[in-house]
């Protein structure tokens, strides 16, 4: 079956612009996670959804970052007023239910802020 997909695969934007990154989880997975990975580092947690609600958003670095999952499936990570420091690979993962389950990752979106 289909895995986690993310679009776009690459996004180049200018400082100060707004961007949206999309994640399509595995069908039937209720839990969805966003992570950010900088070069040479392990991924860092951003936010976790259980169904439509954000169960844990403690990893969002500031209020420029926001994520939604209105129907409990597709999720969009939104970044306002982008800064060069936001450049990273943004990874999405899903799992069948909650945090005890195996997480499956998408290929990521590489964001470059010029």
Is residue 47 within 8 Å of residue 32, measured between CB atoms? no
- Residue (41 or 80) nearer to other proteins, CB: 41
Query: What distance in Å separates the CA atoms of residue 14 and residue 92, rounded to the nearest whole number?
Result: 23
Report, in Å, the least distance between residue 40 CB and other proteins: 7
Shortest distance in whole angstroms from residue 42 CB to other proteins = 3
Q: Could you tell me the smallest distance in angstroms from the CB atom of residue 84 to other proteins?
A: 21
- Binding residues for other proteins (CB under 8 A): 4, 33, 35, 40-45, 48, 56, 59, 91, 93, 98-100, 102-108
Query: CA–CA separation, 62 vs 60, rounded Å?
Result: 6
- The alpha carbon of residue 95 and the mean position of all alpha carbons in its chain are separated, in whole angstroms, by 14
Closer by beta carbon to other proteins, 16 or else 98: 98
Judged by beta carbon, residue 40 or residue 53, the one nearer other proteins is 40
**Cβ neighbours of residue 57 closer than 8 Å, sequence gap 6 or more:** 46, 47, 48, 67
Q: Closest CB to other proteins among 59 and 72?
A: 59
**Structure-block tokens of residue 17:** 């612009």
């Amino acid at each position: 079956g289909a895995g986690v997909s993310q679009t776009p695969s690459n996004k180049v934007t200018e400082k100060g612009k707004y961007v949206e990154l999309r994640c399509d989880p595995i069908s039937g997975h209720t839990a969805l996670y966003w992570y950010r990975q900088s070069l040479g580092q392990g991924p860092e947690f951003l936010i976790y959804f259980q169904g439509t609600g954000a169960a844990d958003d403690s990893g969002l670095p500031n209020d420029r970052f926001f994520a939604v999952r209105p129907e409990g499936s597709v999720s969009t990570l939104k970044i306002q007023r982008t800064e060069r420091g936001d450049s990273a690979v943004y990874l999405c993962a899903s799992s069948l239910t909650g945090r005890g389950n195996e997480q499956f990752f998408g290929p990521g979106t590489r964001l470059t802020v010029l």
